[in-house]
Structure 1
Amino acid sequence: MGYAQLVIGPAGSGKSTYCSSLYQHCETLGRSIHIVNLDPAAENFDYPVAMDIRELISLDDVMEELGLGPNGGLIYCMEHLEENLDDWLTEELDNYLDDDYLVFDCPGQIELFSHVPVLRNFVEHLKHKNFNVCAVYLLDSQFITDVTKYISGCMASLSAIVQLELPHVNILSKMDLVTNKRDVENYLDPEPQHLLSELNERMAPQFKKLNKSLIELVDEYSMVSFIPLDLRKERR
């Protein structure tokens, strides 16, 4: 049985940096992992690329030939990948042993893990090929500076959890760039009533019922919590 990690999150959240650091960390420990590029728009890598979606299709080619914009072109590329799961992906996976560990560096378009079924079908294919799969959701820690942004990040993460139905870890990336860590730490394990009070203060009175529902949703899905990641620390 193989193992796979799906690295997802908004554009600019540090997914490729995480993959590179994970590769270096495992190399130091003498553990073997293989990083897979699933971003058809990627150009530069700080890690050895074991598999590359650009060998199947690239965003530049799609935009040039079909006249699509960046977002539409990327969705087209990912749907093309979905159509070739039984051919290209299966052939690539056959090059790895049953106990290999694959890490998939995914594109940052949020619709891919919120409502478009491409990644969900991709995960089902991996499971069919006898892979144990988990998701790692990265969110830029500099995004979590107030309660409204925290709730927005939680909703995006929760959407990915519901869509992919995978064991799921949420990571606050780029903690090394945060100047006041106390502001972020307040949201690592927040008290629901404090969140609701803070949210009501920020929002207009007509949003009180919505605010209450959002906080209850976050509280009920206790899995929506974040682990801070500071790449400068050896223990991470």
Structure 2
Amino acid sequence: MAHATVTVCVTEPPGRAVVDVVAAALEPFDMNGAAGAEGRWDHWQINGTARPSGGLLIRQGWENDPRVLRISQPPGGWLPGRCDGAPRGLLDFDTDRAAARRKLEMSWAEWDDIARHHPPARPIEEFLSRYDTDPAYSLDDARRDHRDQPLIQAFITARGLDAERIFFNEATDPVYRYGYDRNWYIRRLTAREIPTPELLTLDGTWTDYADFSTGMFDMAAHDRYYIAADEYLQNLPPDVHLVRVYIHC
């Protein structure tokens, strides 16, 4: 069983509550219903606080608008100006993106300071691809060869990681994460600030990174998904409601 958060995009027809419209949009993906094993959820609840930000940020001055949803009950109460969902026009994406960018710029500078003193390293994806095609090459071999590169060793030392216990995967590999282009690094990761890992679009299409993947070790599929989702949400009409929903499947 798994858990995920999906951003559901809906319009609010006159006389219908947004919660009911969200339920109707999710219904075709019910694993207990007609969708069966091809469904996306067996239980869901509106919950914007499943994300690290603690909910979507409302534009200043609109916090008490009746269209703002605060249905979930976060431990300790809501953070100021946060919610489970609201019309796109009432949401502030720029503040969260700017805060993320500042952190990413500092993180990049730390990485760049290490990388400038060592030869470029190969991403773990290359070692895993060999493991996938060479029966004599084990997963332990792939992880060891990736970890033993001078740049990776320097990164482990700088971060105070346990070299005997750390196992980088496709998502946590610093070579993949940082790459060697500062602007692309910041663009990729700021795109992850607003979208959730799954998206239900206004036309009823459910999408995630798998729809952008070309193979098992195609980590760039995550980047392609988040950039596409980020642009989609950014460009929605102001009256479209964005609601974060926590799903179990």
Judge same fold: TM > 0.5, yes or no: no
Q: Higher relative contact order by CA 8 Å / sep ≥ 6: 1 or 2? A: 2
- Relative to its length, the structure with more helix (as a share) is 1
Radius of gyration: which is bigger? 2
